[in-house]
């Protein structure tokens, strides 16, 4: 395990998971959960599901990079990223995913509200963007939504950077698994996409 790398990431993850706290649940003393506390619970569940997907995906990536470099990691990511997302969705009951306007895997296509956010960011750098955290009306009723911008850092460039700088073994895997790959050409600091989750507010 690459625990040192993980620990280095922790502050980031904690910021991501603790920003804009939703306050103490109200209505706890009445015995019956209030509308507000149901919304708080759904929002907490959405944040937790997104946090779990982000952490598990990144842990898998960093581990694989430390054990065989990008050529190994690209194979591991392509074999496991979807399975991780499906498992986290199943375990948490949330709709959850990683999306982008420049997709590598078309299965990561964003739902409408995530697409709208991505388009609205234009050419902004990742650190100029603000995520989403709140409860909204949707066609299926009230839903809690959490969205965290995903930025590109040095770790990402071996598979998402300038095509000329991507090694041949990585290119070979990408070309065979993702003939429609749009997810290269990024620079450190760019907005890569969004980590998102949605949970219906309990009725
Ligand atoms: C070792 C190669 C590799 C590295 C390094 C890498 N990725 Fe990826 N990335 C992939 C592969 C492969 C996929 C497609 C996974 C799949 O099929 O579900 C992917 C998919 C994604 C997706 C999902 C959206 C899409 O286009 O399908 C996001 C978001 C993402 N990567 C962000 C990052 C970020 C941010 C970093 C740096 C922290 C990073 N990646 C580093 C290989 C890599």
Per-residue confidence band for 18, with pLDDT thresholds at 50, 70 and 90: very low
- At a CB cut-off of 8 Å and minimum separation 6, what does 169 contact? 70, 71, 74
Instruction: Report the DSSP pairing between strands 95-99 and 132-138.
Output: unpaired
149 Cβ inside 6 Å of ligand 1 = no
The rounded Å distance from CA 112 to ligand 1 centre is 21
Reported residue count of the chain is: 203
150 Cβ inside 6 Å of ligand 1 = yes
Between the CA of residue 194 and those of 9, 100, 110, 151, 175, what are the distances in Å? 18, 6, 9, 9, 24
Question: Six-digit token pair at 199?
Answer: 């949970």
pLDDT in tens, 25-65: 443 455 678 889 999 999 999 999 999 999 999 999 999 99
73 Cβ inside 6 Å of ligand 1 = yes
In this predicted structure, the answer to whether residue 148 has a pLDDT above a threshold of 80 is yes
Whole-model pTM? 0.87
In whole angstroms, what is the distance from residue 127 CA to residue 187 CA? 13
The rounded Å distance from CA 86 to ligand 1 centre is 16
Whose Cα sits closest to atom 39 in ligand 1?
Answer: 156
Where is average pLDDT lowest: 6-10, 101-105, 109-113, 194-198?
6-10
In whole angstroms, what is the distance from residue 10 CA to residue 174 CA? 29
Predicted pLDDT of residue 32? 78
Best mutation site among 8, 61, 86, 187 for ligand 1, i.e. most ligand atoms within 8 A of its Cβ? 61
pLDDT in tens, 164-182: 999 999 999 999 999 999 9
60 Cβ inside 6 Å of ligand 1 = no
Look at the block and give the residue holding tokens 């470099």.
Answer: 69
* DSSP string across 171-187: HHHHHHH-TT-------
Where is average pLDDT lowest: 29-33, 78-82, 181-185, 190-194?
29-33
Predicted pLDDT of residue 6? 39
The CA-based angle 198-128-84, given to 5 degrees, is 35
- Distance from the first to the final alpha carbon of the chain: 42
Dihedral sign from CA coordinates of 35, 41, 44, 48: negative
The rounded Å distance from CA 138 to ligand 1 centre is 29
In whole angstroms, what is the distance from residue 136 CA to residue 144 CA? 6
Q: What number is the average pLDDT over the span 89-106?
A: 98
């Amino acid at each position: 395990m690459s625990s040192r790398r993980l620990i280095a990431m922790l502050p980031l993850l904690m910021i991501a998971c603790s920003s804009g706290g939703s306050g103490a649940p109200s209505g706890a003393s009445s015995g019956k959960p209030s509308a507000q506390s149901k919304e708080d619970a759904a929002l907490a569940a959405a944040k937790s599901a997104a946090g779990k997907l982000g952490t598990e995906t990144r842990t898998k990536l960093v581990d694989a990079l430390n054990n065989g470099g990008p050529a190994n990691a690209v194979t591991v990511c392509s074999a496991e990223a979807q399975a991780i997302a499906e498992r986290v969705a199943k375990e948490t009951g949330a709709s959850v995913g990683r999306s982008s306007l420049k997709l590598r895997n078309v299965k990561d296509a964003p739902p409408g509200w995530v697409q709208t956010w991505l388009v609205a960011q234009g050419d902004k750098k990742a650190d100029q963007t603000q995520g989403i955290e709140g409860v909204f009306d949707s066609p299926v009723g009230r839903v809690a939504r959490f969205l965290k911008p995903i930025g590109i850092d040095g770790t990402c460039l071996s598979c998402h950077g300038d095509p000329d700088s991507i090694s041949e073994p990585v290119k070979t895997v990408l070309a065979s698994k993702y003939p429609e790959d749009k997810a290269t050409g990024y620079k450190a600091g760019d907005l890569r996409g969004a980590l998102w989750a949605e949970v219906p507010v309990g009725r």
